[in-house]
Structure 1
Amino acid sequence: MKISTETRMGRNRRNPREERSSFLILCEGPTEKGYFTGMRSRRGPQLDVDIPKGDHISAVREAVSRVSAEYDAVWCVLDTELDKMLTASMLRAAQGSSVELGLSTPSFEFWLILHHAKYTKPFQSADDAKKMLKKISPFWSEGNTRFSDFADKVDSAYARAQQISPDGKNPMLNPSTSVWRLVASIQGRPEAIGRSTGAGRS
């Protein structure tokens, strides 16, 4: 019995969407969006990156509302701004959901700093972290953050961030960031497999 080429090809063809994992990343501003948008690649996971309207809590609530079968993981990348009450509120807003929180203290700029240098001195404010990043990387600006400017140093940032906060369970550690967990998941690092900690464990 002759099997047509069309039938055989149709049976063997895989759906590209099924082969790629998908992430929804809700972030605070253009710095984070520029970074994660730049991580998109043809063979990597599908990354949908949005900046929701409203404050930190609104962003977490929107993330919770957008959890669906469309995404393998939903993340919120936000700053603690050294505010314990704010951080506690973000954790509560995500509690009981599958939303993952990538929190940085005092801000996402600390994650970017770690691409260039090991830094453990506490910051007094989020603005101090931005000033330090600008000092280390004079050409950086919030509205013009490009992943390509940091790509070759991701491994260094990852190692430094993980060394500071190995389990990512203390978001108020100053300075610290659990963004390395999200990066591990996007890049498919072995240590990210089965490590999903769920909401409230950033």
Structure 2
Amino acid sequence: MARSIRLFDRKAPRFKPQPKVLILCEDSKSGKRYLEEAAFHFRANAQVEIAHCGVTHPSGIVEKAIIRQKRFDKVFCVLDRDTHLCFERAINLARPHLKINVIASYPCFEFWLLLHFGFNRKPFRAVGKHSPGHLVARSLREKPNMDKYEKGENNNYFAQLLGEPFQRARALAPKIIEDVAVSGEPNPSTEIHLLMDEFETLSKPQAI
């Protein structure tokens, strides 16, 4: 009888439970769609909620993250530096909260897309009425098959740039961050590659 009972004993779990991850973005269309497609590509979408929280300024996004963090193991705030006056405040708001990670782009998310086409460390400065973010988008539209890019459009640029361009961006972004640490100049740079790394990690069971 004892032997029969042992046959039904539960085995100890081999893997950690998948963490629940929240990603809040300021962009409700193109950037959000890109991240959704990336999460799906890495098969991490079951554990990841990607949302536009109704505000488009950095400090407001972090404030929403602070409110929602209790339901998640990790929270990422995808922020554009651009000309936001509250950017530094957002960084300071996030700092005491261990669950909250800021993914910053200088000046904007579109610089990550621009890296799919090659290395770039020339700063983007406001010119007249054109913000740094506007100038990045304009540079992006000069690249092959990107001439119709608009931040507010819901196009699948992840699928379009997947393959060698995507791997190029993943290789270049951390090298630029290393240069930022040496030079002290973050414009231009992006940390979006850290989210790609997170998606890839979430696709693999983590041993206990």
Shorter-chain TM-score category?
A: 0.7 to 0.9
Matched-pair contact (CA < 8 Å) for 1:80–1:171: no
Describe the SS at the equivalent of 2:22: strand
Question: After the TM superposition, which residues 132-151 of structure 1 pair with which residues of structure 2 at under 5 Å, given as runs?
Answer: 132-136=139-143, 137-142=146-151, 143-146=153-156, 147-151=158-162
Range 115-124 or range 57-66, more displaced: 115-124
Q: Give the equivalent residue in structure 1 for 2:66.
A: 64
Matched-pair contact (CA < 8 Å) for 1:105–1:172: no
Cα distance in 2 between the residues matched to 1:167 and 1:58: 29
Radius of gyration: which is bigger? 2
Deviation at 1:82, TM superposition (A): 4.6
Matched-pair contact (CA < 8 Å) for 2:58–2:87: no
Q: Give the equivalent residue in structure 1 for 2:137.
A: 130
Q: Does 1:75 align with 2:88?
A: no
Cα distance in 1 between the residues matched to 2:95 and 2:162: 32
Structure 1 unaligned runs (5+)?
190-202
Q: Give the equivalent residue in structure 1 for 2:206.
A: none
Q: Give the equivalent residue in structure 1 for 2:121.
A: 120
Describe the SS at the equivalent of 2:196: helix
Aligned residues: 183
Q: Letter of the aligned partner of 1:23 in structure 2?
A: V
Q: Give the equivalent residue in structure 1 for 2:167.
A: 155
Deviations 1:52-84 (A, max 9, x none): 12232111111112112x42310000100055x
Deviation at 1:4, TM superposition (A): 10
RMSD between superposed Cα atoms in Å: 3.0
Deviation at 1:141, TM superposition (A): 3.4
Cα distance in 2 between the residues matched to 1:53 and 1:166: 33
Task: Report the identity percentage.
Answer: 26
Cα distance in 2 between the residues matched to 1:73 and 1:145: 27
Structure 2 unaligned runs (5+)?
126-131, 203-208
